[in-house]
Chain A
């Protein structure tokens, strides 16, 4: 039995922290439940709050294999589960003088394994990350629904392949569209919010070793003001906070925050608005 197992909520929290991911208790509990109940976990939240990182840290800290399926527009079975290596099949077909059995042509030798099949057949415990599932279309979502309930896929030429061990599944969504109710109901749900200032400072110090206290405090205060501003098109996430802190680290502790605003804000109107409103004055 090599499924992933973690004893308690606190153990999850410590495991994530060991890999540099500081989870709050509700998140740790959601992850614990996903592992204990073997149910997929759907993470939603604003951009840059660390949805993808959860899966990465969970895999790294438990020694599980991380298999990532990045969803995109038009993704289908052949991107996600398997495909046949047609070029090699054609070559084999031409090379064989006296013809080839069809069964031989559609054997594992010519099978290209994509992330989902990989996750089913892995011997080691697996954390399966299905990233940005909202980018895929309805048809693929319907397939995922089936996949997540049976953990098996059917390849017409080979038969049904079932999971050796149920992988821990983490789905992330950016909410560019509403996911189907049926898919949501199959999952545990957690909304990741922006961290509070203390936690965000801890994250900065954890992720950028050797960053001076002063820089961490300045950046976290500045980001907090931007998020409270209420009139910006795109708010900075934790990812932006880290980039900003690195920028200050490179330029020196006293670097001007407004000059480096491009690390946090990526919309021209937002930058202008913050500069004109003197939002960062005194930080």
Chain B
């Protein structure tokens, strides 16, 4: 007993250190860790480290957090453990740098809480808002639009699943033998009543890729709201933000608390209101997240197409994305202008590979996106 108490204490400390970094470690994990230590040679530091790692990590991202927490609780042992010291340096540097908040939405004033629950005074308010350009929105209007955006975000594409559900007979459906048999018990073994099954409809994966560079700033705050609402409302939605590099913000945007989700996402994106390299961002999407996007997803890119990178790269990456996606939709706020022609170098490279080019500057255009998604 006297031996296990210090061990329990350090395990508790290790769990706490992991939780601080955002890993999910509960009592169950700590009990399992305790059992794991008994199963290995716990005099060996390396052995114990590996055992604890197997029990306490449940994700690749957890591995680096574990190394930090382990070093913090049990000391760093030999200096050359196989954790990478440079990585650690990177996170420290990032913590020291000032973080950008969502542009244009300064910290909510103390009295702003009521504002976020504002309801439209009359239908006409909403009607006026529909056509208004996002860049001309006031803070109050943004709060008003939130509810509408959340409603739009619930609408999305579906596809046929391989799971089936019982239906009335229509052509091409499979017989439901289970129910036929059950029914025939009642008719003395004769399958008098027939039953059928047909495929169900499931949500089709959606990937939203939002440009948060300088030129998109007036629109990014509203479009990010759409991203957040989509992630919260539907299953199988992935969200990314990019300026000069790509950041996956799906995990940050999850959860019911709308404001916190957006703050988390803003903290994760390190290049708000900076330059744009769409080609490089899409290259990363294709390579690092290719698996996650998978096949058969609808990919929506929200960007004005002002690209400072190589248009050839953008063209090639768009072609690749188009081939692995089910549909590729581009939302360009500039496209709302009646004289809009996709003339920027970036847009010219990208347009041949898109299935749909929409405006994306107002609620009306998001509504258009929602109906297109539903038809897909």
Judging by beta carbons under 8 Å apart, are A189 and B163 in contact? no
Judging by beta carbons under 8 Å apart, are A185 and B39 in contact? no
User: Which of the segments B136-144, B146-154, B183-191 contacts the partner chain?
Assistant: B183-191
- CB contact under 8 A between A188 and B55, given known A175-B291, A269-B316: yes
Judging by beta carbons under 8 Å apart, are A37 and B29 in contact? no
A269 surroundings in chain B (CB, below 8 A): 316, 320
Q: Apart from A26-B50, A44-B60, A87-B177, what are 16 other A-B pairs with CB-CB below 8 Å? A: A25-B50, A26-B54, A29-B40, A29-B54, A33-B55, A39-B32, A42-B58, A93-B184, A174-B291, A175-B292, A176-B294, A177-B292, A184-B58, A187-B58, A188-B55, A233-B287
A-B contact list, 5 entries, CB within 8 Å? A29-B47, A33-B39, A36-B39, A42-B58, A233-B290
A-side interface size class: 35 or more
Q: When the two chains form the complex, which single residue of A86, A94, A100 contacts B177, counting CB atoms closer than 8 Å?
A: A86
Of B47, B188, B190, B287, chain A has the most CB atoms within 10 Å of the CB of: B287
A-binding residues in B (CB < 8 A): 24, 26, 28-29, 32, 35-36, 39-40, 47, 50-51, 53-55, 57-60, 62-63, 161-163, 177-178, 180-181, 184-185, 188-191, 202, 235-236, 283, 286-287, 290-292, 294, 316, 320
Q: When the two chains form the complex, which single residue of A137, A176, A233 contacts B286, counting CB atoms closer than 8 Å?
A: A233
Q: When the two chains form the complex, which single residue of B26, B60, B189 contacts A96, counting CB atoms closer than 8 Å?
A: B189
Question: In whole angstroms, what is the CA distance A190 to B62 when docked?
Answer: 11
**Chain A minimum-CB-distance residue to B295:** A176
B189 surroundings in chain A (CB, below 8 A): 90, 93-94, 96, 99-100
**Chain A minimum-CB-distance residue to B199:** A74
Instruction: With both chains docked as a complex, state the minimum distance between the C-beta of A226 and any C-beta of chain B, in angstroms.
Output: 13
Which residues of A1-48 have CB atoms within 8 Å of chain B's CB atoms? Answer: 9, 25-26, 29-30, 32-33, 36-37, 39, 42, 44
B290 surroundings in chain A (CB, below 8 A): 233-234
Q: Is A89 an interface residue (CB 8 A)?
A: yes
Judging by beta carbons under 8 Å apart, are B188 and A99 in contact? yes
A102 surroundings in chain B (CB, below 8 A): 185
Judging by beta carbons under 8 Å apart, are A32 and B294 in contact? no
Q: When the two chains form the complex, which single residue of A37, A87, A176 contacts B292, counting CB atoms closer than 8 Å?
A: A176
Question: In whole angstroms, what is the CA distance A93 to B62 when docked?
Answer: 57
A86 surroundings in chain B (CB, below 8 A): 177-178, 180-181
Instruction: With both chains docked as a complex, state the minimum distance between the C-beta of B356 and any C-beta of chain A, in angstroms.
Output: 25
- CB contact under 8 A between A181 and B24, given known A73-B162, A188-B54, A233-B286: yes
Q: Is A202 an interface residue (CB 8 A)?
A: no
Judging by beta carbons under 8 Å apart, are B236 and A177 in contact? yes
A76 surroundings in chain B (CB, below 8 A): 163
Q: When the two chains form the complex, which single residue of B40, B47, B180, B294 contacts A177, counting CB atoms closer than 8 Å?
A: B294
Q: When the two chains form the complex, which single residue of B47, B180, B236, B292 contacts A9, counting CB atoms closer than 8 Å?
A: B47
Judging by beta carbons under 8 Å apart, are A90 and B191 in contact? yes
Q: Is A147 an interface residue (CB 8 A)?
A: no
Which residues of A102-141 have CB atoms within 8 Å of chain B's CB atoms? Answer: 102, 105, 137-138
Q: Is A280 an interface residue (CB 8 A)?
A: no
**Chain B minimum-CB-distance residue to A193:** B60
Of B35, B62, B161, B189, chain A has the most CB atoms within 10 Å of the CB of: B189
A36 surroundings in chain B (CB, below 8 A): 39
Instruction: With both chains docked as a complex, state the minimum distance between the C-beta of B114 and any C-beta of chain A, in angstroms.
Output: 35
Which residues of A244-281 have CB atoms within 8 Å of chain B's CB atoms? Answer: 269
A188 surroundings in chain B (CB, below 8 A): 54-55
B-binding residues in A (CB < 8 A): 9, 25-26, 29-30, 32-33, 36-37, 39, 42, 44, 72-74, 76, 84, 86-87, 89-90, 93-94, 96, 99-100, 102, 105, 137-138, 174-177, 181, 184-185, 187-191, 231-234, 269
Judging by beta carbons under 8 Å apart, are A32 and B39 in contact? yes
Question: In whole angstroms, what is the CA distance A53 to B215 when docked?
Answer: 50
Question: In whole angstroms, what is the CA distance A102 to B189 when docked?
Answer: 11
Instruction: With both chains docked as a complex, state the minimum distance between the C-beta of B274 and any C-beta of chain A, in angstroms.
Output: 23
A176 surroundings in chain B (CB, below 8 A): 291-292, 294
Question: In whole angstroms, what is the CA distance A44 to B190 when docked?
Answer: 50
**Chain A minimum-CB-distance residue to B57:** A189
B50 surroundings in chain A (CB, below 8 A): 25-26, 29-30
Instruction: With both chains docked as a complex, state the minimum distance between the C-beta of A86 and any C-beta of chain B, in angstroms.
Output: 4
Question: When A and B form their complex, which 9 residue pairs have the shortest distance between CB atoms, in order from nearest?
Answer: A74-B162, A86-B177, A184-B58, A93-B189, A36-B39, A30-B54, A74-B163, A29-B50, A188-B54
A189 surroundings in chain B (CB, below 8 A): 54, 57-59, 62
Instruction: With both chains docked as a complex, state the minimum distance between the C-beta of B194 and any C-beta of chain A, in angstroms.
Output: 12
Instruction: With both chains docked as a complex, state the minimum distance between the C-beta of B258 and any C-beta of chain A, in angstroms.
Output: 22
Judging by beta carbons under 8 Å apart, are A138 and B235 in contact? yes
B40 surroundings in chain A (CB, below 8 A): 9, 29, 32-33
Judging by beta carbons under 8 Å apart, are A233 and B294 in contact? no
**Chain A minimum-CB-distance residue to B179:** A86
Judging by beta carbons under 8 Å apart, are B29 and A185 in contact? yes
Question: In whole angstroms, what is the CA distance A247 to B277 when docked?
Answer: 40
Judging by beta carbons under 8 Å apart, are A37 and B184 in contact? no
B24 surroundings in chain A (CB, below 8 A): 181, 185
- CB contact under 8 A between A185 and B58, given known A33-B36, A33-B40: yes
Judging by beta carbons under 8 Å apart, are B291 and A184 in contact? no
A96 surroundings in chain B (CB, below 8 A): 189
A232 surroundings in chain B (CB, below 8 A): 287
Question: In whole angstroms, what is the CA distance A276 to B313 when docked?
Answer: 16
Question: In whole angstroms, what is the CA distance A190 to B54 when docked?
Answer: 6
Question: In whole angstroms, what is the CA distance A26 to B39 when docked?
Answer: 14
